[in-house]
Amino acid sequence: MTRVLLVRHGETEWNRVERFRGRTDIELNATGRSQAQAIAQRLSSWQMEAIYSSPLKRALQTAQPIAQACGREVQALDPIIDIDYGDCAGLSPEEFSTRHPDLFEKWRDAPQGARFPRGESLDDLRRRAWPAVEEVCSAHEGGTVILVSHVVVNRVLICAALGVGHSSFWKIGQDNAAINVIEAEQTGYRLLLLNDTCHLESLSG
């Protein structure tokens, strides 16, 4: 049995103002850095075999305080990089709906059928990211590992773990700095924790 703590990175300015981030390499803002420290404090007593992260700065900057608290090094894992939004990267939702109205409706109503121009679909993401998670689980059988990634990636991985299609994509809550726990067994995967942000309560005061 392997436990995977799937963490979403902390807040960036493009989270705050709502822009499609994707492969754009944005750093955490001040709130995001505080969130990363809060995650690290919460997980400091856990025994982690390894900590993996998307290679983008916002994920690495979230993973680094966790790694320091747990006495581990961060290992970049390219397959869990954020979705490639292609021509839509950097757009606000309003700009997206104006420039690509048909795709906007599909992304909103049937994301399983959406493909970003010169970018990826959710199926593309799943084909590259899920095998990497399975390899991590095999490499650390019986242990606990952390993967720090992105909202779209985390939703897709949770769908894969549950064995459901991407029509369920929008049903999965995934806030900045959220923790999810997936347990891998010989018989399959179980979701033990979803979108937990209780470690951020001290920041709201």
For residue 94, the tally of other CB atoms under 10 A from its CB is: 10
Q: Which of 140, 136, 180 is nearest to 159 (CA)?
A: 180
Distance CA(151)–CA(83), nearest Å, equals 9
Does 166 participate in catalysis according to the annotation? Answer: no
CB 49 within 8 A of CB 67: no
Q: What is the CA radius of gyration of the chain?
A: 16
Distance CA(36)–CA(64), nearest Å, equals 8
Catalytic residue among 100, 140, 150, 199: 150
> Is the C-alpha dihedral spanning 18, 26, 10, 184 positive or negative?
positive
Q: Match 């970018």 to its residue by tokens.
A: 119
Distance CA(176)–CA(167), nearest Å, equals 22
Does 150 participate in catalysis according to the annotation? Answer: yes
For residue 47, the tally of other CB atoms under 10 A from its CB is: 8
* Residues that are catalytic: 9, 150
